[in-house]
Amino acid sequence: MSTGRHEASRRPLYRTLRWGRIAVSLAALAILTFGLTLSAGEIPGATRILARVQILPAVAGFSIVIFVAWLAVTLTFGRLYCSTVCPLGTVQDIAARLPRMSRRDSRPYRYSRPLQPMRYTVLVAVLGCLMAGFMTVPSIVDPYTAWERFCLACLRHIFGEPPLSAAAETASGDAFVPALTIAMSSVAGAVVAIATVCIVGALAARSGRSFCNTFCPVGTTLGIVSRYAIFQMDIDTDLCTNCRRCVDACKSSCIDIDDHIVDSSRCVVCFDCTDACRDNAIRYTPGRKQLSIPMMQQTDDSKLVES
């Protein structure tokens, strides 16, 4: 009986964690967007802080402390960076949510196998460009830089703010990622910015976090580390009824309900699956659930034995 109460008590906790994560991600997106778009020449302090803790800009600016700190966070809790402070991650969540708000068009997600060759090809290409000093490719696929370019090249024009040149940003001390800034005219920058956001948004509306888990070098890097995270999503097979609600809710398409496995390299720790599960079968835990009733496995001599 006590175990049942303990299992039932998890869902309110996970729901609180989920809404807390959503609040943090929306606040981070708002601070970055308004700070980059509406500032009168000087970037606000909160925006500057959030910009400096972004991973790829930190790497490009040789901020090893920030990079190591995020690796430590990921090794402990998983890919919290992707679901909290990454602005393009939050934009993807919004784009994915909008078409699914209608009951007539729920668009449930489905498990898909990871596209490892594509993920590692993009990561190697970005690392090669960074080492060679060729910053165009990294600045296009990096989620923070893409959103920064969208704010500076598009939103500032819409709201009548004069765009900040790279020289002006450097002089004012607000050049967060000068090495990643694309040297192009405001028109070309706006075209690239709009195209990037539209493509990423369209992918998200169709298949959730597919950009994060296929083309984003930051997501791939953190995914490698999160495989070994202390806290991970785990499916309790004694409680799971294979209702597939968790699969329908997983925007990372990383829950294989047939094998009861959550791909931790693609999970962004959004807690959508724990909120969707009515059986309390998915846990965010440092331990792995062992079956109370051993499964039967086939041995080489064709005899069934208990595992």
- Per-residue pLDDT tens for 183-226? 445 677 778 888 999 999 999 999 999 999 999 999 999 999 99
pTM above 0.95, yes or no: no
Tell which wins on pLDDT, 109 or 290: 109
Task: Please name the residue ranges forming H helices in 142-263.
Answer: 143-150, 156-158, 166-172, 186-207, 217-226, 245-249
Residues 283, 9 contacting (CB under 8 angstroms): no
**What are the CA-CA distances from residue 31 to residues 42, 46, 157, 174, 175 (Å)?**
14, 7, 18, 15, 17
Mean of pLDDT over the chain? 81
Confidence of residue 68 (pLDDT cuts 50, 70, 90): very high
Given this model, what pLDDT does residue 11 score? Answer: 75
Domain ranges of the chain: 2-225
Given this model, what pLDDT does residue 166 score? Answer: 44
Candidate ranges 52-61, 154-163, 175-184, 199-208; pick with highest mean pLDDT: 199-208
Which of 89, 71, 18 lies closest to 282, judged by CA?
Answer: 18
High-pLDDT (> 90) share of the chain, %: 45
